[in-house]
């Protein structure tokens, strides 16, 4: 792990994503140091290093930005159990390696990406919401937005390159592959 200066990649206007962030850190400063983990290339395995969320509640007019400490696993909706996730970008595909503790297999899910240029990909799988991935200074950055009703969540995620074995020793060795690259909503 190394510490580097975090500079947010330029946000793309995607599917109604508000261009409110631009360059700089979530707290408005320009030079805060955040541990982003190791550097790498798109094809490496990446794990979350930081998450910054901006929540807009149209019902109340509320607006809140929070930088979430640490990696923050994605919780399963029903019970909040954390999902362990590694992502990589290979052959214009987002490959997500996902496991939940106690499961006998882990999942490797391929989703289509659209390459905008050599450093930026758009997620092309969803029927709503948007995600984009870009490389900057050897780190992977994701910008995403999702909206339901009057509420919108905008997020910026930085990833550090995974160091060590894969799959991790705690994971099962059996993997279930799923190719969603040809799936048409």
Partner 1 sequence: MTRALWLCVLLPTGAAFAGAAVPDFFVPESECNPRPCTCEDAPMTELILKTQGDAKSAWQSVKDDVLQGSGPKTNQAAVALFQSRFAGDTRVSDQFTACDEYDASVNSLSKIAGVSPFGEARMDPCFCKQFCADVVQATIAHERMHVPTIIAGVLSKGDALIGCKLGFVPQAMCDAIGPLTLADSELLSHQAGMDMLSASLQRMRRLPDPNDPKLKCTWNTLTAAAAFSDEPLPTTWTGRATVLIGQLIHSVIP
Residues that bind partner 1 (CB under 8 A): 51, 53, 55, 57, 59-60, 64, 66, 68, 72, 74-78, 80-81, 83, 85, 96, 98, 100, 102-105, 107, 109, 111, 123, 125-129, 131, 144, 146, 148-151, 153, 155, 157, 174, 176, 178, 180, 183-185
Closest CB 145 distance from partner 1, rounded Å: 9
Q: How far is the CB of 141 from partner 1 (least distance, A)?
A: 13
Q: Which is nearer to partner 1, 81 or 90 (CB)?
A: 81
Spacing of C-alpha 165 from chain mean position:
21
124 near 132, Cβ under 8 Å?
no
Smaller CB separation from partner 1, 31 or 148: 148
Among residues 2 and 59, whose Cβ is nearest to partner 1?
59
CB of 127 to partner 1, least distance (A): 6
Q: Count Cα atoms within 13 angstroms, Cβ side, for 172.
A: 14
- Measured from the CB atom, is 112 or 168 closer to partner 1? 112
CA 57 to chain centre: 22
Residues 6+ apart with CB under 8 A from 131: 122, 123, 142, 143, 144
The C-alpha angle 150, 155, 159, rounded to 5 degrees, equals: 160
Tokens for 46, please give them.
Answer: 């990446």
Query: Pairing between strand 106-117 and 120-123?
Result: antiparallel
Least distance in Å: CB of 63 to partner 1? 11
Smallest distance, partner 1 to C-beta of residue 178, A = 3
């Amino acid at each position: 792990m190394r510490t580097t200066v975090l500079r947010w990649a330029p946000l793309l206007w995607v599917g109604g994503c508000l261009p409110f962030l631009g360059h700089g850190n979530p707290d408005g400063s320009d030079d805060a140091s955040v541990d982003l983990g190791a550097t790498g290339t798109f094809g490496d395995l990446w794990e979350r290093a930081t998450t910054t969320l901006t929540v807009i509640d149209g019902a109340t007019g509320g607006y809140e930005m929070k930088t979430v400490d640490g990696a923050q696993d994605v919780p399963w909706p029903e019970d909040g159990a954390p999902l362990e996730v590694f992502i990589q970008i290979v052959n214009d595909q987002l490959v997500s390696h996902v496991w939940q503790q106690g499961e006998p297999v882990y999942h490797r899910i391929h989703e289509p990406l659209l390459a905008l240029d050599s450093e930026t990909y758009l997620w092309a799988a969803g029927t709503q919401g948007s995600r984009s991935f870009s490389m900057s200074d050897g780190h992977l950055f994701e910008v995403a937005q999702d909206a339901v009703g009057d509420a919108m969540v905008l997020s910026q995620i930085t990833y550090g390159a995974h160091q060590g074995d894969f799959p991790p020793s705690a994971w099962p060795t059996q993997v279930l592959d799923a190719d969603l690259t040809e799936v048409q909503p």
